[in-house]
Amino acid sequence: MDHQIDLVVMQSTPFCNIACKYCYLPDRSSTQKMSLTTLRNVFSRVFESGWVRDRFTVVWHAGEPMTLGPAYYDAAFSLIESLRPRDIAIQHSFQTNGTLINQEWCDFIRRTGLKIGVSIDGPQPIHDKFRVLRDGKGSFQRTMQGINLLRQNGIDFSVIAVLTKCSLLAPDQLYDFFAGHNIERLSFNVEEIEGVNRTSSITPDDAYDLYWNFLNYFWERLLAERKRISQREFEEAFACIVRPDASSMLNSQTTPFRMLNVDVRGNFSTFSPEFLGQSDPRYGNFCFGNLNNVTLESALSNPIYLKLNEDIQRGVDKCRAECQYFSVCGGGAPVNKLNENGSLATSETLFCRLTKMVPIDLALALLENDVNLRADDQRENADAPGMMRAPDPAQLAGSEA
Amino acid sequence: MTQADRYRYLFRVWASRGLLGAAGLTASASNALAVPISGVQSTVMNRATVAERLNLIRSAVTEASRAAKAMPVPDETEIAQWMNWGNWGNFWNKPWYNFGNWGNF
């Protein structure tokens, strides 16, 4: 098989300076940091493998990357740059809680072109309910200070908001918050049962309806107000649905080595990055060796990799056979199958229902609503705000080849 | 007018405006879609037909793409872009710092 890495998830440190109540990371009190020797070995192996082509992204994650300070990444980026073949481009990216952003970080971000995603869950009462500092106090003010500093420095950023039950019940508050703060790129991650987070504020019984109502409200206001918010779930859903027959889906969590995941010690894995730090009697620690000692290619004969891949592909086959959404998904998220269903060789999860089925169902409903409205020539308010009247078909015929 | 006809018509409109491609799709969906008058209803009871509904749309997109001068039948490069973009959010317009089904950055 011809492998191609698109994303390298690097755990420069497992440490996080805050203590979100829904966090899935098991070692977030550990202050280890990846040595530059390990870093050199990791990227030497990556480039030697021939599994990276043209460009790929490195996301520094699975801990709060900013706890290490800009000097660490100055050295790390320089080292990687010294190893990088000239015909391959790298985009570095942080997902951060934003609480440590200062002017030194802003200078670093501007100098290096680092892409920034900030995690903020909405207005202060909602954000502070789960995203707390280690002393238990809310982190909202410090995150907003970081966001304001990014803005003052003209630094573009995206936002991920984790949706808990209290935020799903307050779509108006979240919309007003994100629109009011002119957040231009917004993603939603629904709270998951994953890793050390063994419970969720969202129960399977109410999850679908809660999220449906939330997204429905949010998207309708987006459509009605024409806000310049790129909302990831909206865009992904339409991108998945409105595409030609000849296209097919790539699921990066079920395709071996589309994502390369490396922990702080240099241990490596693939498929769902959340496997890092977890263990299971069937798959050990989900790692295929340490890149200080072995090559990437050695994974292909590693028993853990072979077993993991076999079971994940069995799960994909099950999805293909059973799931109405397979053409817009490609086989689900392995880590959620294991954590929710207890087996990789399974199909539907709550995570599927929320992250795929709800957005796809809603986008389908919006499209069907649209085509049905257009078909009704007698509709009185066809030119009302939000409607774009279709041109005369005769005009379109003139544009055909 | 069948549902397939309606989709063909909708996507021909989008295609005629250059909106039926990876780069323009976001704009087409967010700017061209009608706002439901009283909210759309959950289609969870209609799940058995999801695959058929998705197929119907893809067929209409393909036909609209062929029909519109602005959007010829996708070549291999474009299909490859669709393959990536379809699972990658807004990758081709502006990076989402996100990866397919994995949404943690």
Express each pLDDT in A311-355 by its tens digit. Answer: 999 999 999 999 999 998 889 999 999 999 999 999 999 989 998
Nearest to B40 among A7, A208, A362 (CB): A362
Residues of chain A above pLDDT 90, percent:
72
Give residues 16 to 35 of B whose Cβ lies within 8 Å of A. 16, 20, 22, 25-26, 29-35
Q: Is B64 on the interface with A (CB under 8 A)?
A: no
- Cα three-residue angle A224-A225-A228, rounded to 5 degrees: 125
pTM here is 0.85
The strand order across the sheet containing A55-60 reads: A230-231, A185-190, A157-163, A115-119, A89-96, A55-60, A7-10, A259-262, A268-270
Written as six digits, the tokens of A358 are 């709800």
> How high does pLDDT run on average in chain B?
61
* Position B77 pLDDT exceeds 80: no
Please report the pLDDT score of residue A192 as a whole number: 72
Q: Residue B66 — very low, low, confident or very high, per pLDDT cuts 50/70/90?
A: confident
Distance of alpha carbon A139 from alpha carbon A351, whole angstroms? 27
- Cβ(A332)–Cβ(A317) under 8 Å? no
Give residues 188 to 207 of A whose Cβ lies within 8 Å of B. 189
> How high does pLDDT run on average in chain A?
89
Distance of alpha carbon A388 from alpha carbon A29, whole angstroms? 53
Q: Parallel, antiparallel, or unpaired for β A259-262 and A268-270?
A: antiparallel
* Position A15 pLDDT exceeds 50: yes
Of the listed ranges A57-71, A231-245, A350-364, the least confidently predicted one is: A231-245
Q: Do A371 and B90 touch (CB under 8 A)?
A: no
Between residues B73 and A80, which one has the greater pLDDT?
A80
What's the gap in Å between the CA of B58 and the closest CA on chain A?
A: 5
Q: Parallel, antiparallel, or unpaired for β A230-231 and A7-10?
A: unpaired
Written as six digits, the tokens of A361 are 């169902």
Please report the pLDDT score of residue A388 as a whole number: 36
Complete domains list, chain A, with CATH: 7-241 (3.20.20.70), 259-345 (no CATH)
* Position A361 pLDDT exceeds 60: yes
Taking residue A291's Cβ as centre, other Cβ atoms within 10 Å add up to 27
Give the ipTM: 0.84
